[in-house]
Amino acid sequence: MSGQVAGGPVAAVEHLTVRYDHVIAVDGVTLAVPAGSVTLLVGRNGAGKSSLVRCLLGQQRPSAGTARLFGKDAWRTRARAMARIGVVPESPDAPVTMTARQLAAFCAQLYPRWDATGVLERLRCAHVPLELPFGRLSKGERAQVSLALALGASPELLVLDDPTLGLDPVARRAVFDELIAELADRGTSVFLTSHDLAGVEGIAERVAVLHLGRLLVDETLEELKARWRGIQVSADLGTASLAPLHVVHSAPWPWGAEVVVDNFTQERFAALLAREGMAGANAEPMSLEDIFLALAGNGRGGQP
């Protein structure tokens, strides 16, 4: 049934490069989506996320490197692969005159494992009017239609390209709640891009950070959050005095300085506390959004 190597990733890019004339949008990126995982790709606007997603889906040929779906070249086998993939684009795209019911009936003809009952039930639970033209639905309703249609294909891989962009908080929460419920019931692999880092933090298992076309981070969310900390110290002592903790960012605050480190361990922090003048230092866990801002927020890939 599957063209992938047993235990291998459902999707991957290897040394992927995308150029537009003299501009390099994606620069030698290697990234994999493990089977059964939820992999989050984050980056600022212009980081290269959309180019990478298009290559991964076989919609765009890379300038160099390869993109693979289920172990096969995505560009050459995209027609067969798409029958096993559900996609929610950044901007929901459907004929504006077709109703949600008509869209579901149309898609049923394209996918061999279409779940017609499940699609209609998801739309009813999301309170989407089934007989209203797509163009007259709200942004939140259109997003729910796109998600329901993507899941209706019973996909092995679900690709979500910033599915909550432009939605209000209530609509965003509805989409994420629906997604969480679905992922609890099936072993679908998910590749997700989003600017709503607080919303996806409870979903993502792996995180990749793309900045200026280059991959800065690719690891589990648990590992990422374990090694990043915000540390408040009572004096602005300079970053060298905190070694072996690696300081990514430092900023003054009213009673000393606050630093961000990316190689935190309890042993290293205990050694810091044992130093003269450091007894009052305090280490706080960081949210995914805070980590991303420290990595890419200053426009220099996290370098202080």
**What is the predicted pLDDT for the residue at 7?**
62
Question: Residue 138's pLDDT band (boundaries 50, 70, 90)?
Answer: very high
Rg, C-alpha atoms of the chain: 22
**What is the predicted pLDDT for the residue at 238?**
58
Q: Identify the sign of the CA torsion 69, 71, 75, 78.
A: negative
- Whose tokens are 């209000």? That residue is 168
Phi then psi for 186, rounded to 5 degrees?
Answer: -145, 160
Q: Smallest Cα–Cα separation from 12: which of 29, 27, 28, 31?
A: 31
Q: CA neighbours within 13 Å on the CB side: how many for 117?
A: 0
Residue type, 176: F
Q: For residue 112, count other CB atoms closer than 10 A to its CB.
A: 8
The mean per-residue pLDDT over the stretch 132-137 comes to 97
Q: How far is CA 237 from the centre of its chain?
A: 36
User: Going by C-beta distance under 8 Å and a sequence separation of 6 or more, which residues neighbour residue 296?
Assistant: 43, 44, 47, 209, 211, 216, 302
**What is the predicted pLDDT for the residue at 106?**
96
Question: Residue 276's pLDDT band (boundaries 50, 70, 90)?
Answer: confident
- The tens digit of pLDDT for each residue in 224-251 reads 999 999 999 876 555 557 888 999 988 8
Question: What kind and span of H or E run contains 190?
Answer: strand 189-193
Strands 229-233 and 256-261: antiparallel
Average pLDDT, the chain: 89
Question: Residue 133's pLDDT band (boundaries 50, 70, 90)?
Answer: very high
Question: The pTM is what?
Answer: 0.89
The mean per-residue pLDDT over the stretch 20-42 comes to 96
Task: Report the largest interatomic distance among the alpha carbons of the chain, rounded to a whole angstrom.
Answer: 72
Question: Residue 44's pLDDT band (boundaries 50, 70, 90)?
Answer: very high
- Intra-chain end-to-end CA distance of the chain, in Å: 49
The mean per-residue pLDDT over the stretch 28-43 comes to 95
The mean per-residue pLDDT over the stretch 61-70 comes to 98
Percent of the chain past pLDDT 70, that is, above it, reads 93
**What is the predicted pLDDT for the residue at 3?**
42
Supply 213's token pair: 């076309």
Percent of the chain past pLDDT 90, that is, above it, reads 66
Helix-then-strand count for the chain, H and E: 10, 14
- The tens digit of pLDDT for each residue in 182-201 reads 776 677 899 999 999 998 99
Strands 157-161 and 85-88: parallel
**What is the predicted pLDDT for the residue at 304?**
33
**What is the predicted pLDDT for the residue at 265?**
97
**What is the predicted pLDDT for the residue at 175?**
84
Question: Residue 298's pLDDT band (boundaries 50, 70, 90)?
Answer: low
